Amino acid sequence: MGLILNKYVAGFEYEIKRVAISKQPPVGLHSRKERSCYKFPKVEAGKHSDQLMKKRGEHGRKKNIRSMAGDLVPFLTMVLLQVGYAGMNITSKLAMDSGMNPFVHVAYRQIFASVFLAPFAYFLERKTRPRMTLSLFFQIFLSSIFGITLNQITYFVGLKNSTPTIACALTNILPAVTFVLAVPFRLESVGIKSKTGQAKLLGTILCVGGAMLLSFYHGPVVRVRESGIHWSYAENVGSNDQSNVHGNFILGPFLLIASPVSWAVWFIIQARMSDKYPAPYSSSALMCLLASVQCVIIGLCVDHSPASWSLSPAIRAVSSVYAGIVCSALAFCLLSWCIGRKGPLYVSVFSPLLLVIVAILSWTLLREKLYMGTVAGSVLIVLGLYGVLWGKNNEMGMASYVVNKVVDEENHGVKDELELQLPKH
């Protein structure tokens, strides 16, 4: 889904490591002491009571405005991002229905993303960027293969052979796949006897079951009246190449399942690399650059015809530029900001919203038919997603409790030691 799609999953492991080292509560989780109100100056009883009440009222209003802005801006940002991702799915599907090779589409996308990210990497991190070593470069190279090249090629080839709704539904299995792959590397613990472990395990089973149901069972068509919006351009694109429109509904879902698997492998590599190279813009720009070279080589091997690399009709150019700038480069900046403000769990909750938006746009603009298997599988995947996220949230809550308890005990011990050292009068 893009360079940063569902990156929140890797954020969970990073947060747990961070709180264990820094002894600070995770992002979005605070102790009672941190939720204290404003402190007001002490005023003698009976004096300046009106001024005190007025000052408290002003403080309260300012606090409410800041609180509303702090909640509203990230919320609107995440909603707009899901709309942006939905637009990428629709435009990419139209571009490939026009005959554009998915390998060519991915190559152009990474080229545009690299060009857009390069100035951010240079100006924002030129003083803080660590020294590049051969080991770090090799890890970034592996990240570009699994996180971009394999991930996006399997996704867009799968999108070409299915529908945008199925593609968005299957991307929601990413947290479950990451959990399964992280257990052997001891980045995750199952804990089958705890509610947290049971929720993650049950959520994983629901995600896998929903993916299988969505992939291999269509069922009857859901009776929904046709959209009143008539987009002649989409119909003309589809009529040019009917073989691309229908696709292969066995190969498509299979590749769409392989895409989160490669993305989950990238999480494991990234978790080890992020501590050694804490320069997200530079590493992302370098990954996009390496991936663009890889995709160009693969694309030329698959189809070296000059006509296949043409950005005509216009939907091909629009789709490539839009996916590269909006959904790879710009989305990375906005998602990083939202994760920093509200935490990875907050970002992950909006993932199913993309499925709803794409389903509506596909029905409205592309006249896509919904099947009972697609609806039932999507529901199971979303339920499984929230099960895994609920388990991860409880883990973060327990980590916050342990850290706060340790900090309180240390502070209490320091206080007792100071009291013992104070001279008694």
Q: What tens digit of pLDDT does each residue of 79-114 get?
A: 899 999 999 999 998 888 888 889 999 999 999 999
Report the half-sphere exposure of 246 (CA within 13 A, side-chain side): 4
pLDDT of 328 > 80? The answer is: yes
**Which pLDDT band holds residue 227 (cuts at 50, 70, 90)?**
low
Please give the pLDDT value at position 107.
92
**Which pLDDT band holds residue 332 (cuts at 50, 70, 90)?**
confident
Closest CA to 321 of 120, 114, 112: 112
**Which pLDDT band holds residue 150 (cuts at 50, 70, 90)?**
very high
Considering the domain boundaries, does residue 292 fall inside one?
Answer: yes
In order of 146, 166, 377, the CA distances from 253 in angstroms are: 19, 7, 12
Which range is most confident: 2-11, 230-239, 345-354?
Answer: 345-354
pLDDT of 139 > 60? The answer is: yes
Please give the pLDDT value at position 396.
67
pLDDT of 293 > 90? The answer is: yes
Structural domain containing residue 344: 8-23+61-411
pLDDT of 291 > 70? The answer is: yes
Mean predicted confidence (pLDDT) in 190-204: 82
Q: How far apart are CA 330 and CA 150, in angstroms?
A: 21
pLDDT of 235 > 80? The answer is: no
Considering the domain boundaries, does residue 129 fall inside one?
Answer: yes
26 upstream amide cis, omega within 30 of 0: no
What is residue 371's three-state secondary structure? strand
In sequence order, what are the residues at sequence separation of 6 or more whose Cβ sits closer than 8 angstroms to the Cβ of residue 200? Answer: 179, 188, 190, 387, 388, 391, 392
Task: Decide: residue 112, CB within 10 A, 0-12 exposed, 13-18 middle, 19+ buried.
Answer: buried
In sequence order, what are the residues at sequence separation of 6 or more whose Cβ sits closer than 8 angstroms to the Cβ of residue 198? Answer: 192, 391
Please give the pLDDT value at position 40.
43
Q: How many CB atoms lie within 10 A of CB 415?
A: 10
Please give the pLDDT value at position 173.
83
Considering the domain boundaries, does residue 44 fall inside one?
Answer: no
Mean predicted confidence (pLDDT) in 4-30: 48
Query: pLDDT above 70 covers what percent of the chain?
Result: 69
Closest CA to 179 of 9, 360, 17, 8: 9
Cβ atoms 85, 331 nearer than 8 A? yes
Mean predicted confidence (pLDDT) in 330-346: 76
Mean predicted confidence (pLDDT) in 43-63: 57
**Which pLDDT band holds residue 294 (cuts at 50, 70, 90)?**
very high
Angle, helix 251-273 to helix 174-182, in steps of 10 degrees? 50
In order of 77, 331, 353, 354, 357, the CA distances from 81 in angstroms are: 6, 7, 10, 9, 11
**Which pLDDT band holds residue 134 (cuts at 50, 70, 90)?**
very high
Mean predicted confidence (pLDDT) in 29-40: 44
Please give the pLDDT value at position 316.
92
The overall pTM is greater than 0.85: no
**Which pLDDT band holds residue 406 (cuts at 50, 70, 90)?**
low
Mean predicted confidence (pLDDT) in 241-253: 63
When mean pLDDT is compared across 109-123, 273-287, 315-329, the lowest value belongs to 273-287
Q: How confident is the prediction for the chain on average, in pLDDT?
A: 76
Task: Decide: residue 10, CB within 10 A, 0-12 exposed, 13-18 middle, 19+ buried.
Answer: buried
Please give the pLDDT value at position 68.
53
pLDDT of 72 > 80? The answer is: yes
Q: How far apart are CA 385 and CA 306, in angstroms?
A: 43
Please give the pLDDT value at position 425.
47
Considering the domain boundaries, does residue 36 fall inside one?
Answer: no
pLDDT of 51 > 70? The answer is: no
Considering the domain boundaries, does residue 362 fall inside one?
Answer: yes
Q: How far apart are CA 225 and CA 390, in angstroms?
A: 36
pLDDT of 297 > 90? The answer is: yes
Please give the pLDDT value at position 369.
80
- The two counts, helices (H) then strands (E), for the chain are 17, 0
Beta-sheet strands, E only, within 162-314: none
Q: How far apart are CA 179 and CA 206, in angstroms?
A: 13
Tally the domains of the chain.
Answer: 1
Mean predicted confidence (pLDDT) in 161-183: 82
Please give the pLDDT value at position 216.
78
When mean pLDDT is compared across 64-73, 299-308, 331-340, the lowest value belongs to 64-73
In order of 86, 253, 354, the CA distances from 361 in angstroms are: 8, 20, 10
Mean predicted confidence (pLDDT) in 133-148: 91
Which range is most confident: 146-155, 257-266, 412-421?
Answer: 146-155
Q: How far apart are CA 296 and CA 110, in angstroms?
A: 10
Considering the domain boundaries, does residue 267 fall inside one?
Answer: yes
Please give the pLDDT value at position 154.
94
When mean pLDDT is compared across 53-57, 196-200, 274-278, 415-419, the lowest value belongs to 415-419
| Cα three-residue angle 175-181-18, rounded to 5 degrees | 70
Please give the pLDDT value at position 416.
53
pLDDT of 334 > 60? The answer is: yes
pLDDT of 155 > 90? The answer is: yes
In sequence order, what are the residues at sequence separation of 6 or more whose Cβ sits closer than 8 angstroms to the Cβ of residue 218? Answer: 249, 371, 372, 373, 374
